[in-house]
Amino acid sequence: MGSVRAEFLKLKRSLSWAVVVLLPLMAVVTGAANTVISGEPLEGDWHTLWMRVVVLYGLFPLAVGVAALASLVWRVEHQGGNWNALMGRRVSTPHVVVGKVAVLAALTAAMQAVLVVGVVVVGKVVFALPGVLPPRYLLVSVVIVLACVPVAALQSGLSMLMRSFAAPVAVALLGASTGVLLLVARFEVLTVLVPYGLVSRATQLGTGTFMDGGSVTAGAVAVFGVLALGLAVVVTAGSVAVLDRRDIR
């Protein structure tokens, strides 16, 4: 827990809040603006609004946002003599790596919360939709956050290895593009085994787009959850092994 608290302290003066707040809000504003400009009504009420906002957001902006957050989390370690201080630390390597992934998971959850609030506000204020956002989208939101954890772990590992802030973001864009192509080509198994593909697929849950059937079943939620946690454990273990073999520079 101490490692997680330390990581949050390091982020205190960064601009991580800008990614957490602005990225999902931009997705909401884009979805709403496209609906208003096109003049096409929200025939399926909340479902259509959710689909217009979340599907595009999940294709690559979400992965890029997580990558930017991972770069921010590791940026401090690459500055000045901090890398050597990290190499001479008193806490174990798993504590450091898991602490960073945990912080990224918390920030991703905050991003998803902002997105959900944004969709609800736009749905009510701009489109005057009846009722509230169906609870199944809250369940989908949990799945999206879980699916983001392997990407967060992978991007954390890349940002650990690369001193550049921007290079891991470029890798994230490449990964997300690969995920999209796998989706389009309908390679379902391969898609969910690639972390970026898993995020894109999770954001489509319940929307009926690409390979999705349009329903949110307990089985699908469980499969996504298990896959996400399994991938996250494998990638985090890999990062720990790599960091253990790093030295001062």
Residues near another protein (CB under 8 A) are 14-15, 18-19, 22-23, 26-27, 29-30, 33-34, 37-38, 56, 60-61, 64-65, 68, 71-72, 164-167, 169-171, 173-174, 177, 180-181, 184-185
- Helix (H) or strand (E) run with residue 60 in it: none
Q: Indicate the residue among 84 and 217 with the shorter CB distance to another protein.
A: 84
Q: Which residues contact residue 5 at a Cβ distance below 8 angstroms, ignoring those fewer than 6 apart?
A: none
Q: Indicate the residue among 139 and 167 with the shorter CB distance to another protein.
A: 167
Q: Indicate the residue among 59 and 143 with the shorter CB distance to another protein.
A: 59
For the CB of residue 184, give the shortest distance to another protein in the complex, in Å: 5
Among residues 161, 191, 185, the alpha carbon closest in space to that of 70 is found at 161
Q: Indicate the residue among 18 and 226 with the shorter CB distance to another protein.
A: 18
Exposed e or buried b per residue across 25-56, where buried means at least 16 C-beta atoms within 10 angstroms of its C-beta: bebbeebbeebeeeeeebeebbbbbbbbbbbb
Q: Indicate the residue among 197 and 220 with the shorter CB distance to another protein.
A: 197
For the CB of residue 34, give the shortest distance to another protein in the complex, in Å: 5
For the CB of residue 16, give the shortest distance to another protein in the complex, in Å: 8
Contact 45, 137 (CB under 8 A): no
For the CB of residue 19, give the shortest distance to another protein in the complex, in Å: 7
For the CB of residue 181, give the shortest distance to another protein in the complex, in Å: 6
Neighbours of 1 (CB within 10 A): 8
Tokens linked to 233 = 């454990």
User: How distant, in Å, are the alpha carbons of 10, 20, 38, 203 from that of 61?
Assistant: 25, 12, 22, 12
